[in-house]
Structure 1
């Protein structure tokens, strides 16, 4: 669990330190903007921004029932963040699995990516797609 919050905590700490440093020099507006920017970056990289993760087994079971895609992701991944932002509200319709929280999910991702934990890896109709274009996935989640 600590690993999941490492990047967001570092972003928040950096923002607060930079903001306080600027404010101490009398640059209160710059300090406030830096703090807000880094806190926003912290939120975007936190598990709070992504739909609630479930286990790989549960995601595969649900996907088999409803046909929705399974998205394997990890916190701090810029490509996962890009996919999440580009999917917008439709992202909540997919089944999201955090590979740092589920060893079976990490193994499944390694199995389809030549031993690498490359994310996002999306399962559509049982076929893996590594770092897919968000447009077809967005259309699938309508």
Structure 2
């Protein structure tokens, strides 16, 4: 778990260091913009956006238990990230039975 947070923490620290340098030079607006950019990058590379993946067997087991479909994604994929951001984590799709019917029929 610690390894997953290494890159986001490094990005946040680099952004904070760069912002501190800009504040010392008198550019507060630039510092805020740089800090926001680095925090956004840190957030998109964190496990908050792409949680730890399950193995295929575990995903199939959970799908059989609760009826949810298995969604395949790849960490760092910009299309997967865009879909995750647009749909959100709390959004639910159609009924799994309906999806299975559409896929088999």
**Considering the TM-score relative to the shorter chain, is it more than 0.5?**
yes
Are the aligned partners of 1:60 and 1:70 in contact in 2 as well (CA < 8 Å)? no
Judging by fraction of residues, say which structure has more strand.
Answer: 1
Deviations 1:92-139 (A, max 9, x none): 659xxxxxxxxxxxxxxxxxxxxxxxxxxxxxx9xxxxxxxxxxxxxx
Segments of 4+ moved more than 3 angstroms = 52-55, 90-94
More helix by share: 2
Q: CA RMSD in A?
A: 2.9
Query: Within 5 Å, which residues of 2 pair with 1:1-142?
Result: 1-50=1-50, 52-53=51-52, 55-56=54-55, 57-64=57-64, 66=67, 68-74=69-75, 77=76, 79=77, 81-87=78-84, 88-89=86-87
Segments of structure 1 that go 5 or more residues without pairing to the other structure are 95-124, 126-139
For these two proteins, the number of residue pairs brought into alignment is 91
Structure 2 residues without counterparts, runs of 5 or longer: 94-99
Query: What's the TM-score once normalised by structure 2's chain length?
Result: 0.67
